[in-house]
Each structure stands twice: as C-alpha cells, then as structure tokens.
Amino acid sequence: MFLRVFQAFALNCLAGLPGRLGWLLRRYLYAPFFGQIDPGATIKQHVEFSNCPGISLGTSTLIERHGRLRCLGNNSRIQLGQNVTLDQGVDVRTHWTGQIALGDRTYIGPYSCLSGDSITIGQDCLISSHVAIYANNHCFDDINRPIRTQGNRYQGIVIEDDCWLGTGVKILDGVTVGRGSVIAAGAVITKTVPPYAVMVGVPARVLRYRTAEEISQPKMQAHNSQSHDSQPHDSQPHNSQTLSAHCSAMN
C-alpha cells in the first residue's frame, strides 16, 4: 500500500515540477517504479507514463514536455537506448503484449505517434514532427459486427539504422524501411523500402538511391534507351535541392 501511494505521489505531484530540481527529483524518485532509468536521463514537465515497470530509459535519454509513454499490457515493453530524444508531445504506446524499441542517438520529432504491437527503430535515425508509425490494423471482414469489436491484426514495423523521415510521414504495418533511407515529407509507406532509397509520394515510390552504384545504373539505362529511340526523352537529374523541397528540415 505504501509503495502504491508513493508511486502515485511521485508520478502525479512531481510531473509538473519545473526546472532543474524537477527533473532531478523525477530521475531519482521515478527510478524504483521503472524497468530501468539510466544515469543522465532527463524527464521534462508533464510527461505521462503508464505501466512503468515495462519502460526502460537509456543513458542521457531526453523526454520533452507533454510526452506520453504507455504500456497497455503487463507484458509489453518500451525501451529507449542511449542519447534518445523524444521531442515535445511524442506519444509512444505499445499494445497488450508488444515492444517498441528505439536505438541509440535516435530523435523523434514533436507530436509524432508510435503505436502497435512491434516497432523497432534503429540507431541514428531522424524522425521529424507529426510522423505516424502504426504497427496494427483493425479487422473488418465481418459486415455484421462493428469494426471496433473485431480486434486487430499485427505484423510489425522495422526502421533500420540512419534513416530520415520527413514531417508528416506515415508508416503502415508490415513495412521495413531499409538502412540509410530518406522518406520525403508527407509520404505514405505501404511497402518495404530498399536500403538507401529516397521515397516520395502517396503511396510512396522510389525517387532515386543515395549510393553511387544505384544512381549510375538508372542513368546508364536511360542513356541506352535514348540511343535506340528516334526522339530523345526529357530527363533531369534529381539533385540535393530537389530532395530538400520534399523533405523537412530538423528543428
């Protein structure tokens, strides 16, 4: 009983305490209730947690104001690696048995939402503001029952190391985003993304590849095609300025 009262006091009364004193008290007084809070982790004001034993915060993790980390089930887990930053208003929610894991030095931008049974984001990723990553789908096969009563399907989402997702990107369940990929602002990812691809559009398509080998191959194909046609094709190379028009800058 005492521990429950103390936990309620720590999570509710200390959540709004401002300044250095506030985040120092939260770091040390929250620790007994969490799966793990490593040294240097900083929790800013008004961050909401639920099922704290399932939540682990790595060294020098930063959670900005008004974030929410929620494990819906006793067996679900949220794991943040070292030097992870969740900017203001980020919402991370596992379902009943799932796990959401963020690799070292990954940044999640303001008001992004991660929800589902299995989401794995690698190291050194940049996730811009208002990104939606949903690793679940509603079942709707039975037209005689309300959709909300038919349960969910889960496949899982993997975002590999060193990816950049522009503002407003949406990642749907069952997708793997390959290492080093860049996803342009507003794109909707419905299929697996190859490594080092630059993706644009709804649904997203490959604009080009970042590696010199992959870039040269389409150019050679275009050159061969032009040499056989009576009329030349209009083509313009995609440069970094074109790409920056599609992708958001980090704040």
3-class DSSP assignment, residue 226: helix
Tell me which residues are annotated as active site.
138
For the chain, the DSSP string reads: -HHHHHHHHHHHHSTT--HHHHHHHHHHHHGGGSSEE-TT-EE-TT-EEESGGGEEE-TT-EE-TT-EEEE-STT-EEEE-TT-EE-TT-EEEEEEEEEEEE-TT-EE-TT-EEEEEEEEE-TT-EE-TT-EEEE-EE----TTS-GGGS-EE---EEE-SS-EE-TT-EE-TT-EE-TT-EE-TT-EE-SPBPTTEEEETTTTEEEEESSHHHHHHHHHHHHHHHHHSSSPPP-----HHHHHHHSPPP-
pLDDT (0 to 100) of residue 28: 81
CA–CA separation, 235 and 209 (whole Å): 16
Query: What are 61's two structure tokens?
Result: 């993790």
Name the stretches of the chain with pLDDT < 50: 215-216, 219-220, 222-238, 240-242, 245-246, 248-251
pLDDT (0 to 100) of residue 114: 97
pLDDT (0 to 100) of residue 243: 53
pLDDT (0 to 100) of residue 232: 36
Q: Report all structural domains of the chain as residue ranges with CATH numbers, in order of start.
A: 34-211+240-246 (2.160.10.10)
Using DSSP bridges, classify how beta strands 137-138 and 152-153 pair: parallel, antiparallel or unpaired. antiparallel
CA–CA separation, 135 and 232 (whole Å): 45
Residue-wise pLDDT tens digits, 192-223? 999 999 999 999 999 999 976 554 455 445 44
